[in-house]
Chain A
Amino acid sequence: MKSRKKLPYSADWSFELIEKYAGEIARVAKYYQLSTYPIQMELISSEQMMDTNSTIGMPLGYYHWSYGKQFVNIEKQYRHGLRGLAYEIVINANPCIAYLLEENNMVMQAMVIAHACHGHNSFFKNNYLFKTWTQADAIIDYLLFARNFISECEEKYGIDEVEKLLDACHALSSHGVDRYQRPHALSLAEEKARQKAREIYLQAQVNDLWRTIPVPKTDPSQSVEAKRFPKEPEENFLYFLEKNAPLLEPWQRETIRIVRKIARYFYPQKQTKVMNEGWATFWHYTILQHMYDEGLLTDAFMLEFLQNHTNLIQQLPYDHPYFNGINPYSLGFAIFSDLRRMCENPTDEDKQWFPDMINRPWLEVLHDAMNNYKDESFISQFLSPKVMRDLRLFSLVDDDSKPALVIDAIHDEQGYKHLRQQLSTLYNVSEQEPNIQIVNMNLRGNRTLTLQHKLHLRRPLNQDTDEVLKHLHSLWGFPVVLQSVNPDGEVVATYCCPKTEETDSSSTINQA
């Protein structure tokens, strides 16, 4: 490659330097066809970073004690040197906002720019989950709206009232997304039909004549059995409550909606942790390496960068005292790098495992993987035997009906497929969170809401369950019952709120 003039290297950053580096990084990113939202870099101090860190990484949000708790905790740990701050925070918005920490040196700034502004940013813009579930153009405005709305509610109805409602919504927010349905954009016809319906409704409000029209008698043959509501089980509790809870005031419905929308905004992030971090890590590595090869970066810069990079992708072994699960940076980076390697230098094993990857341009393969997968499918599709060997993965089964733990697969010929499938399942959201759905509402009687938990591998619900049901009850306003059902359809545990005499949940859940 042609040699260029080296970019000045100094430990301290300055605006001119950042601009220079950012320009070069953008050029290289373009060369690799990373398409991004416009980038807005914001330089902030460590305190501001703590602020942002404690409000689920959003630049603004409504006020809630739980964020205060988070802040107090982060601040305390930071002050005592127990933790560093996040190097970067990037916000899925258009323009994409990336925070650069004042205290970072120039190498870190360059790394963050490549990582966040180009890696994460292109992921946000192109991954199908983000495209389907989030609206990058609108999020900042929506958050602002949410904060103002909730502040207004606090003024009108009191902080306690709003706080209680938010607590309840937060408790249910993990079940505030349509998992199995994709949101679909309204077609023009639907949009028109909806508008028409609204018009008719509004007209009916003003035209008194409508009230005098006789109402057709309901068909008495419609049996009670037929009237099951909701017609299909509902997994999105917040949506269900917003639309159907009988006793809520309009402002309460709107607040539920706000929590639901924000939960939905974060839903893709939960499902693409490995991919998203892997992708960003792959690109900060590739971009800076490319610049080094061009002769833009000094050796000193590169050494410092590589050290940071290595720390980031370090995977501790399972028996290390600081072991904290699989490092998504490490796993994601390994898979993406391996994909590139397979396209460029395939081995016989690769030819056997990934025949369709061979001889395709690596850039195309990588973009394709980034655009169309989430962690679960990404791992089951692209985790290669080599990566499993490198990470020395093994699978451990903890079955409480058996006396001992069993290693049922390791990184060998017999184990690859099983390992890959198991790891992929672990990244399935429905595996991480229990499958609970609203199955029935007693329309004729006391409006009891029935929820069903489908037991999966006999894994019981946690101790929070009663507490969460209380929150659900406070929103619904009528009794709530949750049943854990095993695959044979038997009810093995029942939780109620308010508690009734015959079903004491604490005794029934100890079935295992």
Chain B
Amino acid sequence: MVYIIDKRQYGKHKSTINRQRFIRRFKQQIKEVVSESINKRSITDIYQGEKIAIPKRDLHEPSFGYRAGGERTLILPGNKHYASGDTIARPETGGDGANGSSASDQGEGVDDFIFELNRDEFLEIFFEDLALPNLVKTKLAELPSFDNVRGGFSHSGNPSSISIIRSFRQAIARRRSFSHSYRKKLATLDKVLAAAESETPPDDKKIKALKKTITSIKKRAKNIPFIDSVDIRFHRRIKQPKLTSQAVMFCIMDVSGSMDESKKEIAKRFFILLYLFLTRNYKKINIVFIRHHTVAKMVDEEEFFYSRETGGTVVSSALELAYQIVISKYPTNDWNIYVAQASDGDNWNADSPKCQTILQEQIMPLVQYYAYVEIMPRHHQSLWRSYTIVKEQYANFAMRSINDQKDIYPVFRDLFKRKNT
């Protein structure tokens, strides 16, 4: 008895759970790699998988077995010139010669087990550290959605999308062109007939013949189908990314001496999160990096995160620069403006009121959202107090003091909430 079952349509990813278990087990190692890779990557590269290497010995499943040593006998095929009693010099240990077959579990080959973490798994782990709510996670991880819009006509398609007007237009054109020769003939014949009829005496025979020809031609012209399958046109639908507008994101970071590497790493995640959010909503995103100590400077990403400078801190310099850039390059009717500022809260005391004024009078009226984080501050200083005043005035101003990655998300909570509803 033979049964044939087609199982190709059945579940494909039976091993998904096992794969997740595997990732779960090596979470710690994987997390380290992910975190390291985030520090190395550019903010805009965040949507990518990552190669993960795990040392083989960590993956090893132990079981009782033999080690090299003692007396072993191997039976090997393909003897060429050995005779019984021959001796062979012992190959160096670890050599891959004749006895490769039984030296398998000797713990050599400690090269890493490398596998690819796909984009979703990568983001999942990234989000996990940030303690994002699930709804936000799925929102951020999903690929940009498309709109199905009409885009012209096509010869094939779904019956429900037939364009009647277009199809009829085609049919008319076809009928016109196919019947052209008949019409031409009819016109001449009509003339001939009229002439024949006006003749005296009328030649009945000729008239009859002419009339017959005319009817037959008319009949043939009538046989041209009113509508034919070649006439049918369908509305064509094309996919268009939903995102239609553009945004610019200002990353402002204090790079004075007190901002150490760990603070910068947190800051980077803060910027990445805003970036991820913006990619959900905007087709085009420009990022402007502004670093400052006593003077502000527009830099590229590399320099933004990695070069070090020391000195005092004058926040207003960065704000002024940001304002100048907005005015000159990013008119608000074309661009949505987002600002993310990270600092450890140090500022020259006399400068803070100035920051407050710039924000209140110049920047806040222009931006969609302004997020400020103070990373591991020793204690809040004048800047924090000034910003608190701004916050009271503007609903789209968010600020928070954060100690580790988990605290980042709440800064954006309002942002996500607003856009999700």
Contacts and interface: CB of A to CB of B under 8 A. Distances in A.
Interface of A: 15, 18-19, 22-23, 26, 38-45, 47-48, 50-52, 54-55, 63-73, 76, 95, 102, 117, 159, 163, 167, 170-175, 315-320, 323-326, 391-401, 403-412, 414-415, 419, 422-423, 425-426, 433-434, 436, 455-465, 467-468, 471, 512
Interface stretch (B86-94, B129-137, B214-222, B327-335): B86-94
Contact of B76 (A43, A64, A394, A436): A394
A397 B1 contact: no
A39 B100 CA distance: 39
B1 A317 contact: no
25 contacts: A19-B2, A22-B2, A39-B3, A48-B14, A51-B12, A54-B15, A73-B115, A159-B24, A315-B78, A317-B77, A318-B77, A318-B78, A319-B78, A392-B77, A393-B75, A393-B77, A395-B73, A398-B72, A405-B89, A406-B88, A407-B85, A414-B84, A457-B71, A460-B69, A464-B62
A415 B15 CA distance: 49
A65 B69 contact: no
B361 interface: no
Nearest to A408: B84
A291 to B, nearest CB: 16
B79 A410 contact: yes
A19 B1 CA distance: 11
A241 B242 CA distance: 61
B392 interface: no
A316 B68 CA distance: 24
B109 interface: no
A118 to B, nearest CB: 11
Contacts of B72: 397-399, 457, 459
Contacts of A398: 71-74, 90, 99
Contact of A405 (B5, B15, B79, B87): B87
A434 B64 contact: yes
A64 B18 contact: yes
Interface residues of B, number: 66
B6 A43 contact: yes
Contacts of A401: 71
A70 to B, nearest CB: 8
Contacts of B28: none
Q: Which 5 A-B pairs have the closest CB atoms?
A: A317-B78, A68-B22, A459-B70, A464-B62, A458-B70
B64 A462 contact: yes
Given A63-B21, A406-B85, A457 B70 contact: yes
Contact of A63 (B12, B17, B82, B102): B17
Nearest to A412: B84
A476 to B, nearest CB: 15
B207 to A, nearest CB: 67
Contact of A468 (B17, B64, B89): B64
B1 A422 contact: no
A23 B4 CA distance: 12
Given A15-B4, A69-B22, 14 more contacts: A43-B4, A47-B13, A55-B14, A63-B18, A66-B61, A174-B64, A317-B80, A394-B76, A396-B73, A407-B88, A410-B79, A425-B73, A456-B70, A468-B63
A16 B60 CA distance: 46
Interface string B239-279: 00000000000000000000000000000000000000000
Given A400-B70, A457-B71, A71 B15 contact: yes
B5 A434 contact: no
B65 interface: yes
Interface of B: 1-8, 10, 12-15, 17-25, 59-80, 82-90, 97-102, 105-107, 113-116
A39 B1 contact: yes
A461 B65 contact: yes
A72 B19 contact: yes
Contacts of A50: 15
A172 B64 CA distance: 8
A102 B75 contact: no
A471 to B, nearest CB: 7
Given A51-B15, A68-B18, A433-B65, A44 B7 contact: yes
B181 to A, nearest CB: 49
A391 B77 contact: yes
A68 B113 contact: no
A167 B75 contact: no
A323 B13 CA distance: 34
B69 A71 contact: no
Contacts of B63: 170-174, 464, 468
A397 B68 CA distance: 13
Nearest to A414: B84
Contacts of B67: 459-463
Contacts of B21: 63-65, 67-68, 159, 163
B73 A397 contact: yes
B82 A407 contact: yes
Contacts of B20: 68
Given A459-B69, A463-B107, A43 B80 contact: no
Contact of B115 (A76, A172, A436): A76
A460 B78 contact: no
A215 B14 CA distance: 56
A136 to B, nearest CB: 15
Contacts of A171: 61-63
B98 A396 contact: yes
Nearest to A323: B100
Given A45-B8, A68-B19, A463-B67, A407 B3 contact: no
B7 A458 contact: no
A400 B69 contact: yes
A393 B1 CA distance: 42
Nearest to B9: A45
Given A68-B23, A459-B69, A460-B69, A43 B5 contact: yes
Nearest to A420: B75
Contact of A464 (B23, B64, B74, B76): B64
Contacts of A68: 15, 17-23
A247 B76 CA distance: 48
A44 B4 CA distance: 11
A459 B72 CA distance: 8
